[in-house]
Amino acid sequence: MKIDKNTVRAPEIGRLWFNSPPLSMRQLRGRVVLIDFWDYTCLNCIRTLPYIKEWHARYADKGLTVIGVHSPEFLFARYESNVERGIEEFGLTYPVVVDSNMELWQAFANRYWPSKYLIDANGYLRYAHFGEGAYRETEENIQELLREIRPDLTLPKLLDPLRDTDRQGAVCYQPSPELYLGHRRGRIGNAGEFIEDQPADYSHSGELRDGYFYANGRWTATGDHLESAIEASSDPATEGGGEEARVTIRYSAAAVNLVMASFNPQPRELEILQDGQPLTPAIATPDIHFRHGRSYLHVIRPRMYSLVDNKSFGAHTLDLITREPEVALFAFTFTSCVDDRA
């Protein structure tokens, strides 16, 4: 989305920075600035990062400054140490400002993760894009604003798509919607709905509907997550032994991700089943490990975990089973783009 020249000034930016001393829009006059609002747990944000990293590498010495604005969706993503680990995990070397109080989010009147804003050399907003995609269009606008500074500037040809699913011919189906598990935004399918902010026993049997989650066992539903509240098993490594808590979803997608955290210093374990069976190596993600023919995931720190990747679009059920307390589930996200050219 283009914005008329010399109409909207960009607001000033931030206090706490990584990869850079504090920057201001005033000191960046004369350069093009790309502002990227992101969260290290956000699937759509994560999928845009390879392009932003490439633009930083291509154009930093030609007049572009990339600034990541980390505006957290969940409480744990406000902590600087978690943001720093996210920056390291994704290999970000451009400046990132921490926006834990959402001040910059509000200053830009932003509403989406991710959002990109291009600011020209005079400090005016000139382009915005919300969500994934439009990578070629965004890079074209970067080059246009750089040439306003130096018309004779030699610039590289536009990036080729960095993923097969971004190429012409890839198909993006309509996936299940993002599914939160806290009582503030969550959609629980149990007949009794949420019992808010206290441990409670949940049960469900019967039909599963897409767009809802179903809880069995003892859980605490807080505003932004669902936390297992069962007694710890005397031998958690014993498959099928002890009390368990389960979340089940029916979904339509190619792959499933879940933001999770453990509120215990020790890693917590979840068993993962698709359509009632353990995952196979063909559909398991790097976050999955196997033991005695079963598929598991360790929740070590708060982040987005990849649960399953079928590599083709379809409808499935997914069960997450824990036999330990203090496992926190925040939000499922689903991917739907597949490369059907073969």
Please give the tally of structural domains in the chain: 2
The C-alpha angle 49, 286, 40, rounded to 5 degrees, equals 30
Question: What's the rounded mean pLDDT across residues 264-279?
Answer: 95
Residue 129 lies in a domain: yes
Residue with tokens 């339509």: 252
pLDDT of residue 340: 61
Question: Distance (Å, rounded) from C-alpha 20 to C-alpha 214?
Answer: 45
pLDDT at 172: 84
Q: Is 332 helix (H, G, I), strand (E, B) or coil?
A: strand
Phi, psi dihedrals of residue 59, rounded to the nearest 5°:
-120, 0
> Is 320 within the bounds of a domain?
yes
Q: Strand pairing of 16-18 and 96-98? A: antiparallel
Decide if 208 is inside a domain. yes
153 in the same domain as 194: no
Secondary structure of residue 287 in the 3-state scheme = coil
Same-domain check for residues 67 and 190: no
What is the percentage of the chain residues whose pLDDT exceeds 90?
82
Stretch (H or E) spanning 51: helix 43-59
Same domain, 202 and 155: no
Q: Is residue 56 assigned to a domain?
A: yes
Query: Tokens standing for 72?
Result: 């957290």
pLDDT value of position 257: 98
Buried b (16+ CB within 10 A) or exposed e, 142-170: bbbbbebbeeeeeeeeeeeeeeebbeeee
DSSP 259-280: EEEESSSS-EEEEEEETTEEPP
Tens-place pLDDT, residues 6-46: 555 555 566 799 999 999 989 999 999 999 999 999 999 99
Structure-block tokens of residue 31: 């350069």
When pLDDT is cut at 50, 70 and 90, the band that residue 316 belongs to is very high
Q: Is 172 contained in some domain?
A: no
Q: Does 66 have pLDDT greater than 50?
A: yes
Based on the fold, state whether residues 156 and 185 are members of the same structural domain. Answer: no
The answer to whether the CB of 263 falls within 8 A of the CB of 330 is: no
pLDDT band at 170 (very low <50, low <70, confident <90, very high): confident
Q: Which of 131, 162, 193 is the last residue of a domain?
A: 162
**What residues contact 27, with CB distance under 8 A and at least 6 apart?**
none
Are residues 203 and 330 both part of a single domain?
yes
Residues 25 and 151 occupy one common structural domain: yes
Mean pLDDT calculated for residue range 187-195 = 93
Q: Confirm whether 36 is domain-assigned.
A: yes
**Per-residue model confidence (pLDDT) at position 263:** 87
Q: What is the pLDDT of residues 80-107, one digit of tens each?
A: 999 999 999 999 999 999 999 999 999 9
Residues 20 and 148 in one domain: yes
Specify whether 154 is located in the same domain as 189. Answer: no
Q: For 244-270, what is the mean pLDDT? A: 95
| pLDDT for res 337 | 84
User: What pLDDT shows up at residue 264?
Assistant: 86
Q: Is residue 2 part of a domain?
A: no
**Residues 61, 88, 133: CA angle, nearest 5 degrees:** 65
Calculate mean pLDDT across residues 116-129: 96
Same domain, 249 and 275: yes
Please provide the DSSP assignment of 55-86 as one string.
HHHHHGGGTEEEEEEE--SSGGGGSHHHHHHH
Q: Residue 120's domain is classified under what CATH number?
A: 3.40.30.10
Q: How far apart are CA 18 and CA 94, in angstroms?
A: 8
Asked which of 132, 162, 192 is the last residue of a domain, the reply is: 162
DSSP assignments along 183-227, one per residue: TTT--B-STT---BTSEEEE---S---TT-EEEEEEEEE-SS-EE
Cα–Cα nearest to 24, from 16, 34, 14: 14
> Residue 342: is its pLDDT beyond 80?
no
Residue 237 has pLDDT above 80, yes or no: no
Q: Are residues 217 and 155 in the same domain?
A: no
What pLDDT sits at residue 164? 83
Q: Point out the least confidently predicted range of 145-154, 171-180, 181-190, 195-204.
A: 171-180
Instruction: Judge if 82 and 187 occupy the same domain.
Output: no
Contacts 24+ apart (CB under 8 A), 148-154: 148/120, 148/121, 149/30, 149/31, 149/32, 149/63, 149/121, 150/63, 153/62, 153/63
pLDDT value at position 236? 46
Domain range enclosing 149 = 16-162
Whether the pLDDT of residue 260 is over 60: the answer is yes
What value does the mean pLDDT take over residues 269-284? 97
Q: Residue 169 falls within a domain, yes or no? A: no
- Rounded mean pLDDT of the chain? 92
> Is there a single domain that holds both residue 261 and residue 147?
no
Sorting pLDDT into bands at 50, 70 and 90, what band is 261? Answer: very high
Domain boundary among the residues 162, 197, 231 is at: 162
Read off the pLDDT of each residue in 161-175 and give the average, rounded to a whole number. 85
- Predicted confidence at residue 265, as pLDDT, reads 85
Q: If you average pLDDT over residues 183-203, what whole number do you get?
A: 95
Residues in the chain: 342
Q: Which CATH number is 319's domain given?
A: 2.60.120.260
Tell me 298's DSSP state. E
